Structure 1
Amino acid sequence: MTDTIAVAVPRKGRPLEAVLQRVAEETGAEGVADEIVSTLRYEKAVTKGDQTPDRDVYDRLADYSNLDDPAKPDFTLLRDDRAGKPRRIVFDSVTVSADGVNLRLVGREEPFRALRKHDFALGFDSADLVLEEVVELRPDPLTRIADLNARIDPHDTDVRVVAGMGDTVYHTLMATPETLPQGGSPSREFLRDYEGQLCISPRYERLVEAVIGTRNSDTLDFAYPGENEEEEAAIADTGVGVYLTVTGSTAREHGLVVGEELFPSETVLMENYEETGETAERVKELFARAETETEMAIY
Structure 2
Amino acid sequence: MCILSALIYSIEIVILPILVAALKSGDAKKSETLESEEAKKNAETLISETPILTAARYGIVEMVNMLVKEIPSSTYETNLENKNILLVAVENKRTIVVESLKKWFEERNEKNIFDNLIQDVDNEDNIVLHLAATLSNEDWYISGAALQMMWHVKWFQQYVKGLVPDHFTVRTNNMDKTAGNIFKKSHKQLVRDGSAWLKDTLESCSVVAALLAGVSFATSSTVPGGNKSETGEPALEGKPAFDAFASSSVIGLCFSIISLIMFLSILTSRKEAKDFRIDLPRKLL
Same fold (TM over 0.5): no
Which TM-score band applies after superposition, normalised by the shorter structure?
under 0.3
Structure with greater Cα Rg:
2
Greater relative contact order (Cα < 8 A, sep 6+): 1
Compute the TM-score of the two structures, normalised by the length of structure 2.
0.25
Please identify which structure carries the higher strand content.
Answer: 1
Compute the TM-score of the two structures, normalised by the length of structure 1.
0.24
